[in-house]
Amino acid sequence: KQQEVQSEKVYDTQCPYCSMQCKMQLIEQSIVSRKKYTTVGKDNPTSEGRLCIKGMNAHQHTFHQDRIKYPLLKVNGEFVRISWQEALDHIKKQFTEIQAVDGQDAVSVYGSASITNEEAYLLGKFARVALKTRYIDYNGRLCMSAAATAANQTFGLDRGLTNALTEVPFTRVIILAGTNIAECQPTIMPYFEKAKENGAFIIAIDPRETATTQIADLHLKVKPGMDAALANGLLKVIIEENLLDEQFIKKRATGFEEVREYVTSLSLHDLSDLTGVPIEQIKTAAIKFASEESGMLFTARGVEQQIDGTAAVRNLLNILISTGKIGKPYSGYGAITGQGNGQGAREHGQKADQLPGYRLIDNEQHRAYIAKVWGVDKDELPGKGVSAFEMLKKIDEGEITGMFLMCSNPVVSNPNANFVKAALKKLKFLVAVDLFVSETAKLADLILPTSSYLEDEGTMTNLEGRVTLREASRPCPGEVKHDWQIICEIAKVLGKEEYFPYTKAEDIFDELRIASRGGKADYYGITYDRIRKEEGILWPCPEVDHKGTTRLFEESFSHPDGKAKMIAVKSIPDVPKEKPNEEFPLYLTTGRVMSHYLTGVQTRKSAALAARNFESYLEIHPETARKYGIDHNKLVTITSKRGSIVVRSKWSEKIRQDTVFVPFHWADSQNVNKLVAEELDPSCKMPGFKLSTVNVTPV
Ligand code: SF4
């Protein structure tokens, strides 16, 4: 029976999940004794009004009964409600004592790429000015740091996409390397589908057949971890077939001769063996990409989450430069960011080596500029810290004994998760800021409740580098505070109130604009008013009358000489990767499913999303499954050198026979990161999530 709608409220908002940051409206209707929620997409230049299943159901976690609504202190192993003042006094006492006894750097900060630009900026300032610790890093280190480092090394600048997404439909050839956009950023897909309709040739590089590889004209089913070698094969064909853009290389790049000398010394036959990709396929992909007038290359975690991820991305960028496919219409590079603010959160000081605007903490001029903006002495700013996983190691070693953790779940997201949990238990004091009592928050001494996407206001920078504004559309429930308010209140009890005088998110953004001015990620010309009027602005935007930058590198790259830097990349890196052996005969690779986000803290609370994927699984080829006695849809124990998990089997002919796949959104006995090795990429400190070796046995 149709019931009468008694009242209706519309929340204008933005999806809290992936880097598309789709605009949407949540419509709340009161009907007798219940509320009905409907989410609809809102037109905008990036997602054009589209939404995926995650965005449509995001409100379910916001309204979930398990939301933390007041501070919780662990007393005798149980969390008890306390007041904010008690929580703040407790933090002051604990952090002050720890720093007095164990040293200034003994308190660390672990941030997130799901928070706003304002909060990411403020967290960096909080670590350096209020806590005066060198140890700050964030979960983005585990996400796209390899692509960021590779872009910085090659181009001198890291912005997710070098071109606006609107150029994609008009390009002639596309390489999608290690990216499953159809599941991870579903609303981006129509750009690629339009390109295909317009005649583009699409090449996918992935060990698995996925919803994304289905749109490809050619799927290179590479062995896990062999992307750098595959890029060498492609480069070799391009060079030998005389398909180079010699003029572009000469004018715009350095280092090409070294690349030429190295790749021509390789055998295509050996590269085919190494990568598992037939020679004919390598040739077709290389000739097709190099022959077309325009082309775009996209990478994501499949290539990047490797211990040679930086090198592998650099080698793919070598292809782009060799063929002159960057800095011109419909040609360019994109690292498809995973987290909602994966781009903005990596620009303004949350990283161990970084100050706002992509400035560097060990550069004297950069330190002086930021110290002036913050009103502190540059010599008082701490030095460079270490990466996220290395901070966890320092906890294990006893050098770090306190941690302020904001909106992150390292127990589930880091490699060798059993080690991480044991390390975090050693902390003298752990404060976790979160929406829910996550697996990591459970280990905390104190949990502080934070606002959700419907309540918090601030800017996010999407995968294009477009700065967007998410307005607050609902008051915080209970005693919940925004992340930036929490940071300011802790700074106040630590006696640093004068440096944190903000009354709203826009005040922080206005300071960020100045702090980023003249830096590589220059936001100075972007204001809240402009974002509202212009529906987002792509940085760099150095002046308020600058229209933003939709295409990078048209005239020059961002190195001092204006040239892109090419280097020869070894097919097999010096850092040893795990190889299948008798005990652990299979490659394990990990990834996402469409209905979940990161470690699932929010999406596992959504009934609609959890119903689609309520548990993890093992994707295994039927031939492999038979070999190891694994039936379809049965529980399987997966074991690596570091631990074991139990998940249900899913037979699939879409995966290589030497490889199994497990998604990473689940915790405890289903947490696949318990199996993953902790070795890090030497350049960017990314763990090798995409390659471990395991065995599988039926339960
Ligand atoms: Fe859009 Fe990503 Fe949210 Fe899906 S998860 S609605 S693609 S922002």
- Report H helices in 349-416: 364-374, 388-396, 410-413
pLDDT value for 32 = 83
Same domain, 113 and 233: no
Neighbours of 298 (CB within 10 A): 25
Three-state SS annotation for 569-637 = CCCCCCCCCCCCCCCCCEEEEEECCCCCCCCCCCHHHCHHHHHHCCCCEEEECHHHHHHCCCCCCCEEE
Determine contact, residues 181/336, Cβ cutoff 8 Å: yes
Burial 540-560 (b: 16+ CB within 10 A, else e): bbbeeeeebbbbbbeeebbbe
Asked if residue 609 is part of any domain, the answer here is yes
The structure's pTM equals 0.95
* Positions of E strands within 429-498: 429-434, 446-449, 458-461, 466-470
Assess if residue 220 is contained within a domain: yes
Q: CA torsion, points 359, 362, 364, 366, in degrees to nearest 10?
A: 10
Ligand 1 atom closest to residue 18's alpha carbon, by position in its atom list: 2
pLDDT > 70 in the chain, percent: 100
Pocket test for ligand 1, best of 13, 14, 20 (most atoms within 8 A of CB): 20
Which residue's alpha carbon is at the smallest distance from atom 3 of ligand 1?
55
Tell me how far the alpha carbon of residue 341 lies from the centroid of ligand 1, in angstroms.
Answer: 12
Pick the atom of ligand 1 nearest to 24's CA. Answer: 6
| Average pLDDT taken over every residue of the chain | 95
CA of residue 525 to ligand 1 center, whole Å: 27
What does each C-alpha distance from 538 to 230, 305, 468, 542, 673 come to in angstroms? 33, 26, 9, 11, 35
Clarify whether residues 255 and 305 are in a common domain: yes
Domain that includes residue 451, residue range: 90-140+341-515
Residue 16 lies in a domain: no
Task: Give the domain CATH number at 262.
Answer: 3.40.228.10
* Ligand 1, atom 4: closest residue by C-alpha: 52
**Nearest in space to 106 (alpha carbons), one of 135, 144, 65:** 135
Instruction: Examine the domain organization and report whether 157 and 302 are in the same domain.
Output: yes
Are residues 448 and 408 located together in one domain of the fold? yes
**Does the pLDDT value for residue 302 go beyond 70?**
yes
Instruction: Give 1's pLDDT tier (boundaries 50, 70, 90).
Output: low
Distance between CA atoms of residues 211 and 204, nearest Å: 11
Q: Among the three residues 336, 366, 400, which one is the final residue of a domain in this structure?
A: 336
Quick one: how far is CA 646 from the chain centroid? 26
The alpha carbon dihedral of 16, 18, 19, 21 has a sign of negative
| CATH number for the domain harbouring residue 623 | 2.40.40.20
The binding-site residues of ligand 1, defined as CB within 6 angstroms of any ligand atom, are 15, 17-18, 20-22, 47, 51-52, 54-55, 185-187
Structure tokens belonging to residue 530: 């402009």
> What distance in Å separates the CA atoms of residue 459 and residue 188, rounded to the nearest whole number?
20
Confidence of residue 573 (pLDDT cuts 50, 70, 90): confident
47: CA distance to ligand 1 center in Å?
Answer: 9
Atom of ligand 1 nearest to the CA of 186: 7
Question: Cα(120)–Cα(115) distance, rounded to whole angstroms?
Answer: 6
Q: Which of 344, 316, 556 is nearest to 462 (CA)?
A: 344
pLDDT at 372: 98
Q: E strands along 145-240, which residues?
A: 173-177, 201-205, 218-220
Cα(41) to centroid(ligand 1), Å: 10
Q: By three-state DSSP, how is residue 428 classified?
A: coil
The answer to the question of residue 600 being in a domain is yes
Å from CA of 179 to ligand 1 middle: 16
CA 363 – ligand 1 centroid, Å: 37
Claim to verify: residue 150 and residue 235 sit in the same structural domain? yes
Last residue of a domain, one of 487, 515, 543: 515
Same domain, 266 and 184: yes
Q: Residue 699 has which token pair?
A: 């339960």
Average pLDDT over residues 675-680: 92
User: How many CA atoms within 13 Å lie on the side-chain side of 274?
Assistant: 20
Q: What is the pLDDT of residue 207?
A: 93
Q: Which two tokens stand for residue 567?
A: 């280097």
Co-location of 511 and 401 in the same domain: yes
Q: How many domains does the chain have?
A: 3
Mean pLDDT, rounded, for 376-386: 96
End-to-end CA distance of the chain: 48
Portion of the chain with pLDDT greater than 90, in percent:
91
3-state secondary structure of 181: helix
Measure the CA–CA gap between 385 and 640, rounded to whole angstroms. Answer: 31
- The whole-number pLDDT of residue 575 equals 72
- 675 and 594 assigned to the same domain: yes
For residue 125, what is the DSSP state?
A: H
